[in-house]
Structure 1
Amino acid sequence: MSPSAAPKPQPEPRSAYRAFRTIGTRWADNDAYGHVNNVVYYSWFDTVVNAHLIEAGALDIHRGETIGLVIETQCNYFSAIEFPQTVEAGLRVAHMGKSSVRYEVGLFVQGEPMTAARGHFIHVYVDRATRRPVSLPEKLRSVLEALQ
C-alpha cells in the first residue's frame, strides 16, 4: 500500500460508540434492489446527531442563535439494511474544534454486533443570522465532550 492510501474501512463493534438511537425502517426506504437506498443512511446520520443534541438541550432549532451547517458527509457500507429491519445508530464525536465537530455514526441492524454501515458528518457551527462561524456554546461543548 502506498503511503497516501488509506486502509480499507472495516465494520466496527458497538463498543466504539457512546450513545445509541433506535430508528425504524419504512417501506419507502427500500429501493428497486430490495435494500435501503443510500440517501436514507444520510438522513439517519442527520436524525441521530440532531435528535441527540436537541434532547440534551444543546440545540434549539427554532430559536437558538447558533446552528450547525453540514459541510461534509461520508458513508461506508458493509452489509445491506432492508425494510422491515430496525436500525440502532451509534454516535460518537471524533474531533471537536473551535467551531466545528466531526460526528461519527455507526448503523447496526438491531441486535447485530458489528456495523452494517458507518460514516461521518461534520458540522460547522455558525451564527443563525450572519452564517459566520462561532465558538461552540458551552452547553453544546459539554454534551459533545460526553460523546468523545
Structure 2
Amino acid sequence: MERPQAQERAAYAHFSTITTRWMDNDIYGHVNNVTYYSYFDTAVNRYLIEAGVLDIHQGEVIGLVIETHCNYFAPLEFPRNVDAGIRVGHIGKSSVRYEIGLFDQGAPMSAAVGHFVHVYVDRATRRPVPLPEAFVKALQALQLPAEG
C-alpha cells in the first residue's frame, strides 16, 4: 500500500477559508485531530449551500456520512486561518466521495488530507435517493480531469 502524501493546492477544485477557534486547540498547542473532520464538513456543506443545492433546514434530500478518513502531515494551530480545498473523487447514483485538503493559510502543501462519503437520502424516510440533477452539476464542478 502506498504511503499517503501531502498534496499541492492544484489538487483541489474549490477553496474556502475556515478560521480556527481557541477551543480547536488541544493541550499540545495544535488543532485536535477530531476538529479536522469538522473542517471537512464545514468546507463541503458551505460549498453546497452557496451553490444553492443544499437546504439544511427544509430540503427533501440530506447527506449521511457513511465513511471518513484523514491523514495528518503538519500541525494546524489557533489563531490561524485554514484554507480548505475540496474536490469530488466519485459521484454515484446516490453517493458522493468528497476529498479535502487542509492547508495552513498560504502554505503550498496540505497539512492534512482526507475524505468522506455521503449517501443522500430522503429526509423523512432516510432511504437512499438518486442525486438531483442540479446537485450533480454542482458536484461535477468539483471534479478534476484525470491525470495521465
Which band: TM-score by shorter chain?
Answer: over 0.9
Alignment map for 1:1-148 (pairs within 5 Å) = 6-148=1-143
Match of 2:146 in 1: none
Output the CA distance in 2 between the equivalents of 1:57 and 1:85. Answer: 29
| Cα distance in 1, alignment partners of residues 52 and 30 from structure 2 | 34
Report the TM-score when normalising by structure 1. Answer: 0.95
Deviation at 1:8, TM superposition (A): 0.4
1:78-108 CA distances to partner (integer Å, 9 max, x unpaired)?
0001111210000000000000000000000
Q: TM-score, normalised by structure 2?
A: 0.95
The Cα of 1:63 is off from its aligned counterpart by 1.1
Shift of 1:146: 0.4
Alpha-carbon distance in structure 2 between the residues aligned to 1:126 and 1:43: 21
For structure 1, the 5+ residue unaligned runs are 1-5
Percent identity over the alignment is 69
> May I ask how many residue pairs the two structures share in their alignment?
143
Tell me, in whole angstroms, the C-alpha distance in 2 between the residues paired with 1:143 and 1:120: 18
Q: CA RMSD in A?
A: 0.5
1:121, distance to aligned residue in structure 2 (A)? 1.0
In structure 2, C-alpha distance between the alignment counterparts of 1:64 and 1:27, rounded to whole Å: 33
**CA displacement at 1:61 relative to structure 2:** 0.8
Q: Which amino acid aligns with 2:57?
A: H
Q: Distance in 2 between matches of 1:147 and 1:48?
A: 12
Q: Residue 49 of structure 1: SS of its match in structure 2? A: helix
Report SS of the residue matched to 1:143: helix
Provide runs of 4+ in structure 1 moved above 4 Å: none
Stretches of structure 2 that go unaligned for 5 or more consecutive residues are 144-148
